[in-house]
């Protein structure tokens, strides 16, 4: 398998790959490399922060006082930031690489947020649990999560007064796409989800006295349908398989959809709806490694941040720095803009975010000093200019970076070859000319310079 193809696979299935692992995988066949990716993600390691103070309140009786509610809100505000940090640190040091990348993907499909960190954490781990599993079980699990029943108002969906929010988004955003259902289907399916609720701990509860057990008419069928029945009928529509495959293709392959490839994917996915089978097909397909699919996607803010850390490990002394970075790049985990999630692709980049992205490697790895080492400039002069800059800089992110690990990982790589390991897309002619003006005084300086290129935004 070509080195560039392995790099491509590991950027789409993860967050990049280091030279030593790349060299080791180069001796294996494609099937073995892909098998290893899935084998290493068979295990499930839930994301867990300490929520014991919240658990004490939620494990009590079924009535919350106003004081308890205020306590939950106050604790959750703090704990949600802690959960955000824990998730990013997990992405930076994943034990199950592909499962974690898939969890990030599904979080922008089954979009949800909640002001109770216990429910948010449970929801996040549900995404993680089913990320490579049975899609039918996945949809059912999502529909019964406390965070989702609150987010899309299923708790308010009662036979006396149906609420259609979840039924609408289930079809429009989660399974079929706009235009592939009727308004009548929304009304009828909403009846099937009446009574969906949860107890204080977040366990699913069907409130039978709120459930509508009348006959429903949905996609040409009639019956006393439950929520599970509605999901079964939706998955019978091949449009559901195609819709999910379009989402997978856009995220893992190319923003420009190739309907021939998507139809092939849908043929594989439709029927048993096994996510692992679908992803194996994608990663094994020759077209996945076509040149037009390599280095063509703009990294999401999280992919960009985690990718930098892959090359040079970073320790954030204050989680507020992590939140600030996410806000400035336009993607704060656990805080989606709306139920449709983040618009990806070119939407990640505007005049503000691209300016910050280009500066971020220097901010994180060079004490805020933007590396501009020119030909003929000595190490001593660079140090002098950097120290002068630091004195002028009033605010900088408090981080510690581990250049020792970088030098260990890239010890056998010549300075002039660094670009082959850090950049996937072809260089623009202006970039080539610019790089010729830069000094290769050290791997460290040149690494920062490469990470500050527009081309480093791509994967």
Tens digit of each residue's pLDDT (9 = 90 or more) over 274-293: 999 999 999 999 999 999 99
pLDDT above 50 (res 375)? no
Residues 269 and 352 in one domain: no
Residues 450 and 306 in one domain: yes
Residue 11 lies in a domain: yes
CA dihedral 97, 301, 327, 73 (to 10 degrees): -20
Residues 351 and 282 in one domain: no
Residues 242 and 363 in one domain: no
Task: Supply the pLDDT for residue 384.
Answer: 56
Report the 10 Å Cβ neighbour count for 244: 24
Residue 172 lies in a domain: no
Residue 22 lies in a domain: yes
* DSSP helix/strand/coil, 58: helix
Task: Supply the pLDDT for residue 377.
Answer: 52
Residues 269 and 312 in one domain: no
What are the residue ranges of helices labelled H in 312-397?
319-329, 351-365, 379-392
Average pLDDT over residues 225-253: 98
Task: Supply the pLDDT for residue 392.
Answer: 45
Q: In which band, very low, low, confident or very high, does the pLDDT at 390 lie, cut at 50, 70 and 90?
A: low
- The tokens for 232 are 């079964």
Spatial separation of the C-alpha atoms in residues 430 and 437, rounded to whole Å: 11
Q: For the chain, count helices (H), then strands (E).
A: 23, 6
Spatial separation of the C-alpha atoms in residues 15 and 301, rounded to whole Å: 12
The number of folded domains in the chain is: 2
* DSSP helix/strand/coil, 410: coil
Residue 184 lies in a domain: no
Residues 347 and 449 in one domain: yes
The CA-atom distances, in angstroms, between 69 and each of 21, 73, 200, 440 are: 49, 6, 11, 58
Note the pLDDT tens digit of each residue in 188-221.
999 999 999 999 999 999 999 999 999 999 999 9
Residues 330 and 452 in one domain: yes
Domain containing 17 equals 3-39+238-293
Task: Supply the pLDDT for residue 17.
Answer: 98
- H or E element at residue 401: strand 399-401
Task: Supply the pLDDT for residue 353.
Answer: 95
Task: Supply the pLDDT for residue 385.
Answer: 52
pLDDT above 60 (res 118)? yes
Average pLDDT over residues 288-304: 98
Contacts of residue 450, Cβ cutoff 8 Å, sequence gap at least 6: 418, 419, 422, 423, 456
Average pLDDT over residues 258-268: 98
Distance of CA 361 to the CA centre of its chain: 21
Residues 326 and 448 in one domain: yes
Listed residues 276, 293, 310: the one ending a domain = 293
Average pLDDT over residues 222-251: 98
- Burial status of residue 358 (CB atoms within 10 A of its CB: 0-12, 13-18, 19 or more): middle
Average pLDDT over residues 337-358: 96
Average pLDDT over residues 327-354: 96
Task: Supply the pLDDT for residue 367.
Answer: 73
Residues 282 and 375 in one domain: no
Residue 439 lies in a domain: yes
Q: In which band, very low, low, confident or very high, does the pLDDT at 319 lie, cut at 50, 70 and 90?
A: confident
Q: In which band, very low, low, confident or very high, does the pLDDT at 407 lie, cut at 50, 70 and 90?
A: very high
Residue 333 lies in a domain: yes
Task: Supply the pLDDT for residue 402.
Answer: 96
Maximum pairwise Cα distance, the chain: 81
* DSSP helix/strand/coil, 422: helix
Residue 183 lies in a domain: no
Spatial separation of the C-alpha atoms in residues 285 and 344, rounded to whole Å: 24
* DSSP helix/strand/coil, 298: strand
pLDDT above 60 (res 156)? yes
Average pLDDT, the chain: 93
Residues 275 and 393 in one domain: no
Task: Supply the pLDDT for residue 393.
Answer: 43
Note the pLDDT tens digit of each residue in 34-93.
999 999 999 999 999 999 999 999 997 668 889 999 999 999 999 999 999 999 999 999
Q: In which band, very low, low, confident or very high, does the pLDDT at 382 lie, cut at 50, 70 and 90?
A: low
Task: Supply the pLDDT for residue 370.
Answer: 55
Please tell me which residue, 103 or 434, carries the higher pLDDT value. Answer: 103
Residues 345 and 326 in one domain: yes
Residue 120 lies in a domain: no
Spatial separation of the C-alpha atoms in residues 319 and 309, rounded to whole Å: 15
Residues 311 and 289 in one domain: no
% of the chain at pLDDT higher than 70: 93
Q: Please tell me the pTM assigned to this model.
A: 0.94
Listed residues 293, 324, 340: the one ending a domain = 293
Task: Supply the pLDDT for residue 378.
Answer: 55
CA angle 14, 18, 20 (to 5 degrees): 130
Task: Supply the pLDDT for residue 374.
Answer: 47
């Amino acid at each position: 398998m070509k080195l560039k193809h392995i790099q491509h696979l590991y950027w789409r299935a993860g967050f990049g790959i280091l030279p030593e692992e790349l060299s080791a995988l180069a001796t294996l066949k494609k099937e073995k490399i892909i098998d290893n990716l899935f084998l290493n993600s068979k295990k499930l390691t839930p994301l867990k922060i300490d929520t014991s103070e919240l658990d004490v309140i939620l494990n009590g009786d079924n009535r919350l006082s106003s004081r308890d509610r205020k306590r939950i809100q106050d604790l959750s505000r703090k704990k949600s930031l802690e959960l955000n940090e824990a998730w990013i640190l997990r992405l930076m040091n994943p034990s199950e690489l592909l499962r974690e990348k898939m969890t990030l993907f599904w979080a922008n499909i089954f979009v949800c947020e909640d002001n109770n960190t216990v429910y948010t954490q449970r929801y996040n781990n549900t995404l993680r649990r089913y990320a490579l599993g049975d899609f039918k079980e996945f949809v059912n699990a999502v529909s019964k999560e406390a965070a989702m029943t609150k987010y899309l108002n299923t708790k308010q969906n009662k036979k006396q007064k149906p609420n259609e929010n979840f039924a609408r988004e289930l079809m429009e955003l989660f399974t079929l796409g706009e235009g592939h259902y009727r308004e009548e289907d929304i009304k009828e399916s909403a009846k099937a989800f009446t009574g969906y609720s949860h107890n204080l701990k977040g366990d699913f509860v069907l409130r039978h006295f709120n459930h509508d057990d009348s006959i429903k008419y949905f996609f040409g069928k009639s019956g006393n349908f439950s929520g599970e029945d509605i999901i079964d009928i939706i998955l019978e529509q091949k449009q559901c398989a195609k819709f999910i495959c379009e989402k997978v293709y856009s995220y893992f392959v190319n923003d420009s959809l190739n309907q021939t490839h998507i139809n092939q994917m849908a043929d594989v996915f439709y029927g048993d709806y096994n996510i692992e089978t679908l992803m194996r097909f994608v990663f094994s397909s020759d077209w996945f490694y076509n040149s037009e699919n390599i280095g063509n996607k703009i990294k999401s803010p999280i992919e960009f941040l985690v990718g930098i850390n892959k090359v040079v490990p970073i320790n954030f002394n204050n989680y507020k720095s992590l939140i600030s970075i996410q806000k400035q790049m336009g993607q704060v985990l656990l805080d989606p803009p709306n139920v449709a999630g983040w618009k990806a692709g070119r939407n990640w980049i505007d005049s503000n975010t691209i300016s910050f992205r280009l500066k971020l490697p220097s901010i994180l790895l060079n004490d805020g000093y933007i590396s501009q080492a020119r030909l003929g400039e000595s190490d001593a002069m660079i140090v002098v200019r950097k120290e002068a800059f630091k004195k002028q800089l009033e605010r900088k992110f408090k981080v510690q970076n581990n250049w020792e690990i970088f030098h260990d990982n890239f010890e056998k790589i010549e300075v002039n070859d660094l670009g082959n390991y850090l950049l996937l897309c072809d260089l623009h002619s202006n970039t080539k000319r610019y790089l010729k003006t830069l000094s290769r005084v050290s791997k460290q300086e040149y690494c920062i310079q490469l990470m500050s290129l527009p081309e480093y935004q791509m994967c």
